[in-house]
Amino acid sequence: MHSNLINVAVIGYVVATGLALAHLVQRHDLVYRLSVLAALAGWAAHTVALISRSLELGAPPLGSLPDAIWVAVWVIVLLEVLLEQRTGVRVLGAFVLPIVVVLSLKATTARPGTLAPALGSAWIWIHIALAMVGIAAFVFNFAGAIMYLLQERQLKAKRPGAFYYRLPALQTLDRLTFRTLALGFPFLTTGLVLGAMWARAAWGSAFAFDPLAFFSAVAWLVYAGTLAGRAAAGWHGRRAAYFSIIGFVALALTLGAGLFLPGRHGS
């Protein structure tokens, strides 16, 4: 039941991604609407899958990293559709949905690991949930940074190409990356702090080497630096975008490490 629904969701997201990319090229209104529809259909199946998974486990569907990633994907798709409707930036899907597909495939191909049995505390659920919302925000941060760099290149090169016509204004994109950073950072921070506290309680040490914890600390440092740079030194635009991309690479490594390397977060 659960895995069938997850498959439906993945198919929905893959179709939505294909259509969103086609819309980026073709700009057919119908293609765009079908893409939104496919994403929503996938999301609906995904919602039911999460509920059924949670009933099956008798706990929030966050007990293993693949499960947690599914929740992050769920949040991302929801935000993507909402943001697109609110801001009217219809190309957002073409940048965010591919990441959704990659995350989904990562989560499906990972070993269905279970966490250490010490999952007794409610804090652990909050740790995971906050970290996943943070990740969702940073996906948009990354997409915004990529779009900013593409648009800036076109404007500097003075040769308008496909992206010049399709992407929104530079300031809009810079604001998107700033806001998603400002939103994601507190979630990530609280999530990491809770994780460290819990690790100390469970294993007696907050900072024993764990690949996921290591890379997430790197990602946190990059994002913290970017946020500080933005707030204090007036960083913005291209420089901030580069840092957003570096931070996201660290975040991707974090998830990859958690999924494929042995450690406390994996099996």
Q: How far is the CB of 239 from another protein (least distance, A)?
A: 8
The Cα diameter of the chain in Å comes to: 59
CB of 169 to another protein, least distance (A): 5
- Tell me the closest approach of the beta carbon of residue 158 to another protein, in angstroms: 4
CB contact at 8 A, 214 and 246: no
- The answer to whether residue 234 forms part of the interface with another protein (CB under 8 A) is yes
Site mask for another protein (CB under 8 A), range 72-111, x = bound: ----------------------------------------
* Residues from 11 through 40 that contact another protein (CB under 8 A): 27, 29
Binding of another protein by 242 (CB under 8 A) = no
**Residue 190 is encoded by which pair of tokens?**
């609280």
In the three-class reduction of DSSP (H, G, I as helix; E, B as strand; rest coil), residue 243 is classed as helix
By beta-carbon proximity to another protein, the closer residue of 116 and 157 is: 157
Give min distance, CB of 24 to another protein, in A: 14
The verdict on 161 binding another protein (CB under 8 A) reads yes
Q: String of b and e for 71-93 (b: at least 16 CB within 10 Å)?
A: bbbbbbbbbbbebbeeeebbbbb
Residue found by looking up tokens 């690991």 in the block: 113
Quote the CA–CA distance of 267 and 74 in Å, as a whole number.
23
- Assess 155 for contact with another protein (CB under 8 A): yes
Residue 89 beta carbon to another protein: minimum distance, rounded to whole angstroms: 12
- Look at residues 121, 141, 143, 137 and name the one whose alpha carbon lies nearest to residue 62: 121
Query: Residue 30 or 208: which CB sits closer to another protein?
Result: 30
Q: What are phi and psi of 174, to 5 degrees?
A: -65, -40
Backbone angles phi, psi at 204, to 5 degrees: 85, -10
Among 8, 175, 179, 260, binds another protein (CB under 8 A): 175
| Alpha carbon distance 181, 103 (integer Å) | 20
Q: Which one of residues 110, 174, 223, 244 is an interface residue with another protein (CB under 8 A)?
A: 174
Which CB sits closer to another protein, 80 or 174? 174
**Residue 10: both structure tokens together:** 């993945």
Residues that bind another protein (CB under 8 A): 27, 29, 151, 155-156, 158-161, 164-165, 167-172, 174-175, 234-239
